Amino acid sequence: MNQQNNTQQRQFDSCSDHIVRATACGNAMRAFACRTSDTCREAVRLHDLSPVAAAAIGRLMSGVLMLGCDLDQPGDTITALVQGDGPLQNITVVGEENATVRGTVRQPHVETRYLKSGKLDVGSALGKGTLTIIKDMRLKEPYIGRVALVSGEIAEDIAAYLSISEQIPSIVSLGVKMDRGGITHAGGLMVQLLPNAGEDIVSWLEERVCHLPDVTAMIEDGATPAAMRARLLGEENMTIHEQVPCSYACPCNRERMVKNLLAMGRKELGELAQDPHGISLECHFCDRHYHFSQTEIRQVLGDNPHVE
Ligand SMILES: [Zn+2]
50-97 confidence digits (pLDDT tens)? 999 999 999 999 999 999 998 989 999 999 999 999 999 999 999 999
In a domain, 171, yes or no: yes
12 domain-assigned = no
Is 7 a residue whose pLDDT tops 90? no
Asked whether residue 10 is assigned to any structural domain, the reply reads no
For residues 137 and 64, membership in a common domain is answered with: yes
Q: What is the distance in A from the centroid of ligand 1 to the CA of 221?
A: 34
What is the CA(178)–ligand 1 centre distance, in A? Answer: 26
Higher per-residue pLDDT: 123 or 15:
123
Residue 212 sits in the same domain as residue 234: yes
Structural domain boundaries enclosing 96:
17-248
Query: Taking residues 138-162, what's their average pLDDT?
Result: 95
Whether the per-residue pLDDT at 143 is higher than 90: the answer is yes
Same domain as 287, residue 228: no
Instruction: pLDDT band for 26, please (50, 70, 90 cuts).
Output: confident
- Span 245-258, mean pLDDT? 95
CA of 290 from ligand 1 middle (Å) equals 10
Residue 3 has pLDDT above 90, yes or no: no
**200 shares a domain with 94:** yes
**Are both 157 and 196 inside the same structural domain?**
yes
Cα of 253 to ligand 1 centre, how many Å?
7
**Cα(50)–Cα(133) distance, rounded to whole angstroms?**
25
Measure 90 CA to ligand 1 centroid, in angstroms. 18
Instruction: With a cut of 70, say whether residue 22 has pLDDT above it.
Output: yes
pLDDT tens profile 109-136: 999 999 888 889 999 999 999 999 999 9
Q: How confident is the model at residue 139 (pLDDT cuts 50, 70, 90)?
A: confident
Percent of the chain at pLDDT exceeding 90: 69
Read off the pTM.
0.91
pLDDT of 307 higher than 80: no
Closest C-alpha among 54, 127, 57 to residue 92? 57
Please give the average per-residue pLDDT across 163-167, as a whole number: 95
Residue 6 lies in a domain: no
274 Cα: distance to centroid of ligand 1 (angstroms): 26
Ligand 1 mean position to 130 CA, how many Å? 25
C-alpha 300 – ligand 1 centre gap (Å):
20
Whether 1 is in a domain gets the answer no
Q: State in Å: Cα 87 to ligand 1 middle.
A: 25
CA 94 to ligand 1 centroid distance, Å: 11
Ligand 1 centroid distance, CA of 256 (Å): 10
Q: Is the pLDDT of residue 6 over 50?
A: no
Instruction: Report the separation in Å between the CA atom of 73 and the middle of ligand 1, taken as the mean of its atom positions.
Output: 21
CATH number at residue 118: 3.55.30.10
Using pLDDT thresholds of 50, 70 and 90, give the confidence band for residue 25.
confident
For the chain, the three-class secondary structure string (H helix, E strand, C coil) is: CHHHHHHHHHHCCCCCCEEEEEEECCCCEEEEEEECHHHHHHHHHHHCCCHHHHHHHHHHHHHHHHHHHHCCCCCCEEEEEEEECCCCCEEEEEEECCCEEEEEECCCCCCCCECCCCCECHHHHHCCEEEEEEEECCCCCCEEEEEECCCCCCHHHHHHHHHHHCCCCEEEEEEEEEECCEEEEEEEEEEEECCCCCHHHHHHHHHHHHCCCCHHHHHHCCCCHHHHHHHHHCHHHEEEEEEEECEECCCCCHHHHHHHHHHCCHHHHHHHCCCCCCEEEECCCCCCEEEECHHHHHHHHHHCCCCC
**What pLDDT does 308 receive?**
78
Q: Say whether both 139 and 153 belong to one domain.
A: yes
Considering the domain architecture, whether residues 148 and 216 belong to the same structural domain is answered as yes
Assess if residue 2 is contained within a domain. no
Q: How many domains does the chain have?
A: 2
Q: Do 114 and 224 share a domain, yes or no?
A: yes
CA of 204 to the centre of ligand 1 (A): 44
Ligand 1 centroid to residue 132 C-alpha, Å: 22
Same domain, 231 and 283: no
194 Cα: distance to centroid of ligand 1 (angstroms): 36
Residue 272: which CATH number? 3.90.1280.10
Ligand 1 centroid to residue 103 C-alpha, Å? 10
Distance 42 CA to ligand 1 centre (A): 13
End position of a domain, from candidates 227, 248, 269: 248
Query: Please, which pLDDT band fits residue 238 given cuts at 50, 70 and 90?
Result: confident
Residue 192: the pLDDT is 96
Residue 95, domain member (yes or no)? yes
151 part of a folded domain: yes
* Residue 9 predicted with pLDDT over 90: no
What spacing in Å lies between the alpha carbon of 190 and ligand 1's midpoint?
Answer: 28
At 11 the pLDDT is 53
**247-248 and 18-24 beta bridge pairing:** unpaired
140 pLDDT more than 90:
no
Local confidence band at 234 (pLDDT 50, 70, 90 cut-offs): confident
Confidence of residue 304 (pLDDT cuts 50, 70, 90): confident
288 Cα: distance to centroid of ligand 1 (angstroms): 6
Are residue 115 and residue 235 in the same domain, yes or no? yes
- Say yes or no: 281 and 216 in one domain: no
Same domain assignment for residues 99 and 243:
yes
Is pLDDT above 90 for 5? no
- Tell me the CA–centroid distance for residue 38 and ligand 1, in Å: 18
Question: What is the CA(79)–ligand 1 centre distance, in A?
Answer: 15
Confidence tier at 198 by pLDDT (50, 70, 90): confident
Measure 236 CA to ligand 1 centroid, in angstroms: 42
